[in-house]
Amino acid sequence: MPDRGEIMQKSLNLMRIAVLGAGGTGCQLLTLLAEQGAELTIIDRDIVEESNLLRQPLYSQDDIGMPKAVIAAKKLTSLTKAESFFEDITYRNIQEILQRPRLVIDCTDNTETRLLLNDYCMKNSIPWIHTAASGVIGSVILITPNSPCYRCVFQEKRGESCTDSDVSIDILKSVAEQAVRITLEFLTKGKMEDGLLRVGLNRIMHISISKNENCPCCKGNYEFLEGRRTMLPERLCGTSRYLIVTGRQLDLVSLGNRLANVKLQTNDVIISDEYTIFKKGRVLVTAKSPSEARKKIVSIGL
Ligand SMILES: [Zn+2]
C-alpha cells in the first residue's frame, strides 16, 4: 500500500500527457511529470548528440546516436509508464500518435509543429501548453478550447526556439517548472492560468492575451491539420528541389524585383536560377537541406 504522502505526491496518476520534444525543456519537464505519476507519450524526431549532453540530463555518453524519445522513455520507466515515438509529427500521423491525451505539452523548437498542434488540439478540444526558451527568456501559455489559441497570440511568427548553444539551463528549468505547475493546477483543480507567462532569470511576468477575430483556427479553418498548408519544406523525390506551400496568393511583381537571375516572369510564375514561384502560393527552391530551403524562403520575404 502506498502511504498518504505518496498518493498526495503522485497527483497526475493515470492521466496521460503527450509531450512533443525531448530536448532542453523536454528533459526537465518529462522528469517532473513522471515524478507526478503522469503516463507519458514522448514524441521526438532527433537523436542524441554530444552537444546535447550538457543541457539535456536524461542522456549520457552511451546514448549518443540513439533516438531521444526512446532513451527518455526508457530512463523514466522506473517512475511511470512511458511510450515513445521516434517520429516527425505531421498532419498525416498526428491523430494516430497523440490519440486524445488529457493534455499535450509543446517543447519543440519550431513554428510549423506548433501550428499543426494548435489545429489538432483546438479541433479536438484538447488543452495544451506551449513552451519556448531562448537565451535568458522563456514563455509558457495554457491554451484551451475557450481561450485565445496559439495562432491568435503569435499568428505565424517564427517564435523563440530552443537551441543548445544559446539557452540558459536555468531558464529551461524555470519554463519546465512553470509548465508543470500550470498542468497540475489545471488538471487537478480546474484552475486556468490567464495569459502568457514570460519567464526571466529572476522574475515572471503575466501578459494578457485576447482572441483574434480573424484567426482562421478559431473560426474552424484547420488548414495545417488538413494538410492544405504547410511551412515545412518537402523535398521532391530524386532532386535537390524543395516544395513549400504558402497557401496564399503571392505578389509576383515585388518578388521578381527581389530575385537574382530571373529567367522567366509571367502573370502566373517566376523562374530564376534557384526559385520557381507560382502566383497561387507554391514555391520550389533549390537547397541542400530543409533548413537551407527555409532560410532561402525567408530571405526573399516569404
Ligand atoms: Zn485563434
Measured in Å, residue 152 CA sits from the centre of ligand 1 at 4
Measured in Å, residue 293 CA sits from the centre of ligand 1 at 28
Measured in Å, residue 140 CA sits from the centre of ligand 1 at 17
Measured in Å, residue 74 CA sits from the centre of ligand 1 at 36
At 4, the pLDDT band (50, 70, 90 cuts) reads very low
Instruction: Please enumerate in sequence order all residues whose Cβ is within 8 A of that of 173, keeping only pairs 6 or more positions apart, or say none.
Output: 28
Measured in Å, residue 84 CA sits from the centre of ligand 1 at 30
* pLDDT value at residue 2: 47
User: Residue 241 CB: number of other CB atoms within 10 A?
Assistant: 18
Cell numbers for 166:
544559446
CB 119 within 8 A of CB 222: yes
Measured in Å, residue 219 CA sits from the centre of ligand 1 at 8
| Residue owning grid cell 491523430 | 95
* pLDDT value at residue 164: 46
Measured in Å, residue 210 CA sits from the centre of ligand 1 at 9
Q: Is the pLDDT of residue 165 over 70?
A: no
pLDDT greater at residue 129 or residue 14: 129
Measured in Å, residue 150 CA sits from the centre of ligand 1 at 6
Closest C-alpha among 301, 294, 280 to residue 243: 294
Measured in Å, residue 90 CA sits from the centre of ligand 1 at 20
pLDDT tens digits for 208-263?
A: 999 999 999 999 999 999 988 776 677 776 678 888 877 678 999 999 888 989 98
Measured in Å, residue 273 CA sits from the centre of ligand 1 at 38
pLDDT tens digits for 30-49?
A: 999 999 999 999 999 888 98
CB 214 within 8 A of CB 151: no
Total-model pTM:
0.78
**What percentage of the chain has pLDDT greater than the value 70?**
92
Instruction: Please enumerate in sequence order all residues whose Cβ is within 8 A of that of 123, keeping only pairs 6 or more positions apart, or say none.
Output: 220, 222, 225
User: Could you tell me the sign of the dihedral formed by the alpha carbons of 252, 253, 255, 256, in that order?
Assistant: positive
Measured in Å, residue 121 CA sits from the centre of ligand 1 at 11
Measured in Å, residue 130 CA sits from the centre of ligand 1 at 14
Measured in Å, residue 45 CA sits from the centre of ligand 1 at 27
> Residue 51: is it exposed, middle or buried by C-beta count within 10 angstroms (0-12/13-18/19+)?
exposed
Ranges 15-19, 62-66, 118-122, 227-231: which has the least confidence = 227-231
Which residue(s) pair with 16 in the sheet?
39
pLDDT tens digits for 79-102?
A: 999 999 998 788 889 999 999 999
C-alpha distance from residue 91 to each of 16, 169, 191 (Å): 21, 32, 30
CA distance 104 to 124: 12
